[in-house]
Amino acid sequence: MSETPALERFYSVIPAGGIGSRLWPLSRANAPKFLHDLTGSGKTLLRGTWDRLGPISGEQRIMVVTGRAHRAAVEEQLPELADHNVVLESEPKDSTAAIGLAAAILEHREPGVIIGSFAADHVISDTRGFRRAVVAAVEAADAGYIATIGITPTEPAIGFGYIHCGASLGLEAAPSAVAVDSFVEKPSLAVAKRYLADGNYLWNGGMFISRADVLLEELGRNEPELLEGLLELAEAWDTERRGATVDRVWPRLKKIAIDYTVAEPAAQAGRLAVIPGDFDWDDVGDFAAIGKLHSGGRKKNLAILGDDPRVLSDASTGVVVSHSGRLITLIGVEDIVVVDTPDALLITTTQNAQRVKSVVDALKLSGRGDVL
């Protein structure tokens, strides 16, 4: 352990990638989910993430990893973002490359750094509860663990993955930290109910906090070639060799989620700690989630989002997202999802909200990429 207090060595990393296919046609290749205000707060999810992390790591210690196409939009949202904290991907390579490159660059610049990666498009309103969990996770990371934050479930959600908790790690600086027994995929409703009753399951918020060198070491155990590429990039990053190295190395990087390269193997090896978080959290994964966010949990509401929406509703419930300026009239439709944009209209139900992704896949295959 370093002598500098752990929190002073903490760096936030925001991977701002992913389109959010389940939120099509609101979320698009050129207007991904993290650039939308899905909460009605008046700010984008990316800005909300920044505002949550700034007070914890300091604004000068937040790195954003995003696609080249989104650079201007990201910088517009985050004018405080320092140039050296922007990492641009020439093409998407999933979360291992994004977070691993940030870890490698930061470790190269500042050995002993602790990094925490937080998705750009999640919603958390209890910033105090969030901060408490992050601070505990940073302590667990300082003790050598890869830490994650698990959210105490409030309902048997089937749209989230779960973390099965093991025994307490007995860490003095992070007494709530327990071992991760295993990660479990999105369950059926019956299984989710069992998890909730069991009490030893937390929602997987996809947040990872660890010393950068510990993360890279774990990655190297499982994907040595990928680690090698990332270290090569990091070594060249702050030199005039960056461009050429990116052009050569980036296209060959394996495209794989960090869940498989770091989190699950580390859990199996007993190197993963989880901090239970008692704050609210939502990954706003589909339009049903948006509806719920906007109706305060009440089922029989109609949530209306958009630019100056004009909606006339008669005995209807669900979600309307209006980005076309047109008058939208609903009569007697329940749990409906209407997403109205200038070139594409989606109509489904909250129950079918998860199926939007497969339709987007079908659109891709059928050559209708113009509306994606």
Q: Which residues bind its own copies (CB under 8 A)?
A: 25, 312, 314, 324, 326-333, 336, 338, 340, 342-349, 351-352, 355-356, 358-359, 362-363, 366, 368, 371
For β-strands 310-314 and 327-331, DSSP reports them as parallel
Nearer to its own copies, 296 or 332 (CB): 332
Q: Indicate the residue among 12 and 322 with the shorter CB distance to its own copies.
A: 322
Shortest separation between residue 54's beta carbon and its own copies, angstroms? 38
Neighbour count for residue 126 (Cβ, 10 Å): 15
Q: Whole-angstrom Cα distance, residue 339 to residue 36?
A: 14
Angle between helix 45-57 and helix 127-142 axes, rounded to 10 deg: 50
SS3 333: coil
Instruction: Report the nearest approach of its own copies to the CB of residue 333 (Å).
Output: 6
| For its own copies, the closer CB: 200 or 329 | 329
Alpha-carbon dihedral sign for residues 55, 57, 58, 61: negative
Q: Which residues pair with 224 in a beta bridge?
A: none
In this complex, which beta carbon is closest to its own copies, that of residue 16 or of residue 360? Answer: 360
Q: Could you tell me the smallest distance in angstroms from the CB atom of residue 27 to its own copies?
A: 14
Give the shortest CB-327-to-its own copies separation in angstroms: 5
Residue indicated by tokens 């109910």: 193
As beta bridge partners, residue 264 has: none
Q: How far is the CB of 314 from its own copies (least distance, A)?
A: 6
Q: Which is nearer to its own copies, 25 or 100 (CB)?
A: 25
CB-based contacts of 256, cutoff 8 Å, min separation 6: 94, 96, 223, 226
If the CB atoms of residues 307 and 314 are measured against its own copies, the closer one turns out to be: 314
Nearest distance, CB of residue 339 and its own copies, angstroms:
9
Q: Which is nearer to its own copies, 261 or 348 (CB)?
A: 348
As measured in angstroms, the least distance from the Cβ of 277 to its own copies is: 33
Shortest CA distance to 309 belongs to which of 319, 300, 317? 319
Contacts of 14 (CB under 8 A, 6+ apart): 46, 49, 50, 53, 62, 63, 64, 65, 117, 118, 119, 120
Hunting for tokens 């979320």 — which residue is that? 27
